[in-house]
Structure formats: structure tokens, C-alpha cells
Amino acid sequence: MARSVSELADRKLGVIGRKAVTCAEHGEYSAVMLKDGGLSGCPICRSNQRDMEELERKRFNFRMTQRSAARIPQRFAEKTFSDFVVSNPAQKIALDACLDYVDNFSKHRREGRCMLLLGKVGTGKTHLAVAAVNHLINECMVKAIYRTVGAIIGDIRATFSDRTGESEANILREVIGADLLVLDEVGATKQSEFELATLFSIINGRYEQCRPTIIVSNLAPGELNDAIGARCVDRIRENGCIGVAFEWESQRGKEGF
């Protein structure tokens, strides 16, 4: 008698029969019995495992690509929330605010809610901002990037003389299109009309697309208007912008910071 295709396949694979087996999570299934005495596992568990492995593969590829695109400076590349040292209540408030922001980022992304990290030099503003970028890239597959104002302006100016490199439009498209932009060193220097216009293009472009921005600056809230323009500040503050003050003394040179 001719053997069926399934019988021939079983024989080739060393299958000698099937047995009813119960998976603790998914109930009864028909396990394959092999010549070596082994039994096949639960097909649903196996499928879930493959899905998890595929998701982890995608996460790994995303991290590798996006961490490069984020352009985080080497000094801050490995900063996390866990290594931010808290030694006073104000630091705890700042840390909790940033943790809450990333934990609820999907909501902030929908509503375009920005964040202001303002205060004294050396107080950990960039540390927490980069920790947010790292967390969103590594854990949430969010396209988050870090830029200083000076780096953006410098990159754009470089396009004026180098026609073979990246265009101004591409640079603006990148910083406007990211799910989260951390914009550091805001107001660090006196802005020219060109720089103010560029900042407005970026902030307004993100505002129009409801994409949140974390602004990092040593300025006081009342000084932002002069530094980046009232129109930029107005857009950043819309829809419940979250402001965090960093008013303690510089922690640079202290252990763990």
C-alpha cells in the first residue's frame, strides 16, 4: 500500500507516532514522538517563542540604527536614569518628572507635549535628557535624537559651501521628523537672525506635527523669549508643557555624576 505524504515525511524526520500531551499554559495538544524518545513541545509556545525572537531581532536592529542616528556625545552615551545620583529633594523631583515623561511618552507624543529642563550648569540636565533618549530607543523603539543648537546651525552652515554633502532640507527633515528631539544648549550664545529663523523652523515644524521636544538650557524661564523668540516659546509651552527647575549647585567632579 502506498504511504501518504505525511507518513513519508514523518519517517524522514524520525517520527514514530503522536501522543496527547498537556501544556500547562495552552492545554492539550498532539505531540510528535521521535525515535530518540523525545516529544515535540507545545506548538503555541513554540510560535510565541519565535515571535519573541523576531521582536528582539527587530529591537536590536532598531537600537543599532537609531543609536547612531541619535548622535549622543560619547561622554553621555551610556547615561541612564539609574545612574543619576539623587542627594536632595529637588533632584528627586527632576528624576521623577523625566521618568514619568518617558513612561507616558505615547500620550505626550499624541498631544505634542514638550518639556523644559532649565537651570544651573552642571546639575544633570543633559544627563536626564539623554537618559530619556536612551530609554525610548532601547525599550520603546522610539526614534529619539539629541542635538545641540550649535551643532544644528553648524551642520546647516556647512551645506552652504559643500554642495556634495547633506542638504539643509535633509538636516531640517531629520530634526523635525524625529518622534522626540532633545535640543540642548539653547540660548548658550547670542543668536543671529539666521539662527533664530532656523530654530523657529524646527520648533514650528515639530509643533505643527505634534512632535514633542525637550529643551535643555541654562537660562531661566523668563530669559527664553529673548534667546529663541516669543513665537518659539509660545509653541513649546502649549498644551501643558512640563517644566523642571535645576537650581542646585554643579555636581561635576562629584562621585557618580
Name the H helices within the chain: 5-13, 43-70, 89-103, 105-111, 125-140, 149-161, 168-177, 193-208, 224-228, 230-237
Q: Considering the chain, tell me which residue range(s) the CATH 3.40.50.300 domain(s) occupy.
A: 67-246
Question: Is this prediction's pTM over 0.75?
Answer: yes
CB neighbour class for 9 (10 Å; exposed up to 12, middle 13-18, buried from 19): exposed
**Under CATH, which architecture does the 67-246 domain have?**
3-Layer(aba) Sandwich (3.40)
Under 8 Å CB-to-CB from 47, ≥6 apart: which residues? Answer: none
Per-residue pLDDT tens listing for the chain (257 residues): 445 544 544 554 555 667 787 888 888 877 777 666 667 778 787 888 887 777 777 777 777 788 888 899 999 999 999 999 899 999 999 999 999 999 999 999 999 999 999 998 989 999 999 999 999 999 889 999 999 999 999 999 988 877 666 788 999 999 999 999 999 999 887 778 999 999 999 999 999 999 999 999 999 888 988 888 899 999 999 889 999 999 888 766 665 54
Q: What is the DSSP string of 79-115?
A: --STTS---SHHHHHHHHHHHHHHHTHHHHHHHT--E
Is the distance from CB of 101 to CB of 132 less than 8 angstroms? yes
